[in-house]
A and B are shown apart, each in its own frame.
Chain A
Amino acid sequence: ILNVEQSPQSLHVQEGDSTNFTCSFPSSNFYALHWYRWETAKSPEALFVMTLNGDEKKKGRISATLNTKEGYSYLYIKGSQPEDSATYLCAPLSGGYQKVTFGTGTKLQVIP
C-alpha cells in the first residue's frame, strides 16, 4: 500500500485567487498518477493522467505537474471560481491493472 499524502487538507480562497496543492507519493515503482475532482453529491471526475517525469497537463484554468524522481505532483488553479469548489484527489499507481491508492484529498472552497 502506498503512502499518499495530500496537502493542505482543506483550503478556502476568494473568487479570482489562484491556488495550488500538493500530492506526495513514494517515487519507487511509479507507473502513473491520476488527478480527480469530486464535487459534493456527484461522482469523482477524472482531470488528468500523468506518466512521465516533468509531465505538465492543462485543462482550462487547471494545470498539473509531475516529478516522479522526488515523488510529488502539484495541481494549480488559476483565477478560482465558485464552481471549482470540490475535493481534489490524487491517485498514484504502483503497479498495473489500476491498483490505485488515493490520497485523502484537498477540499477547496472558493468564496464568491
Chain B
Amino acid sequence: DAGVTQSPTHLIKTRGQQVTLRCSPKSGHDTVSWYQQALGQGPQFIFQYYEEEERQRGNFPDRFSGHQFPNYSSELNVNALLLGDSALYLCASSSPTGLAGMGSTDTQYFGPGTRLTVL
C-alpha cells in the first residue's frame, strides 16, 4: 500500500515565479491537508481539501491556492513567489472518522515533503 506521495522532491524557483506542488493521498483517504514548514518552525497549516472543496484555511495569503481532483489527489499552487516562501511543503491525508464529523481526532499521514527554494 503506497503511502502519501509528493512531487517533486526538490524545486528551485526565482522570485515572482509560480510553482505547483503535487500530492497523492494514501489509498482510501479522501481528505488532503497542506502545511508549510519554514526553518526552525513547526509545520504551519495552509489549507485542507475535502470533496474537491477547500474546507478550512490557515493564515496564508491568496497567493497560495489549491485544488483537489476527483481521485482525491491535490495540488498546491503558489503565485508571485517571495524569498520567504522557501520552505518544506508537507501534504497529509486522512479519512474523516472523527467526533461528530469534525475530524479532530483523525490521524493524518504525511508525505515526505517538497523542498522549495526561492532565489
Contact = CB atoms under 8 A, between A and B. Distances in A.
Interface residues on B, range: 20 to 34
Interface residues of A, number: 27
A102 B42 CA distance: 5
Interface of A: 1, 4, 31-32, 34, 36, 42-46, 49, 51, 89, 91, 93, 95-105
B94 interface: yes
Given A49-B107, A98-B104, A105-B42, 14 more contacts: A4-B42, A31-B104, A32-B98, A43-B109, A43-B113, A44-B90, A46-B107, A97-B48, A97-B103, A98-B33, A98-B48, A98-B106, A99-B45, A102-B44
A21 B106 CA distance: 24
B76 interface: no
Contacts of B99: 31, 51
Interface string B66-95: 000000000000000000000000101010
B111 interface: yes
A99 B56 contact: yes
Given A51-B105, A104-B40, A105-B42, A98 B90 contact: no
B12 interface: no
Interface string B42-53: 111100101000
B45 A100 contact: yes
B24 to A, nearest CB: 13
B102 interface: yes
Contact of B111 (A1, A31, A43): A43
Q: Which 10 A-B pairs have the closest CB atoms?
A: A102-B42, A96-B102, A31-B104, A43-B110, A97-B56, A44-B110, A32-B104, A46-B107, A102-B43, A104-B42
A31 B40 contact: no
17 contacts: A31-B99, A31-B104, A43-B3, A43-B111, A45-B110, A46-B109, A51-B104, A89-B42, A93-B104, A97-B56, A97-B103, A98-B31, A98-B108, A99-B45, A102-B44, A103-B42, A104-B42
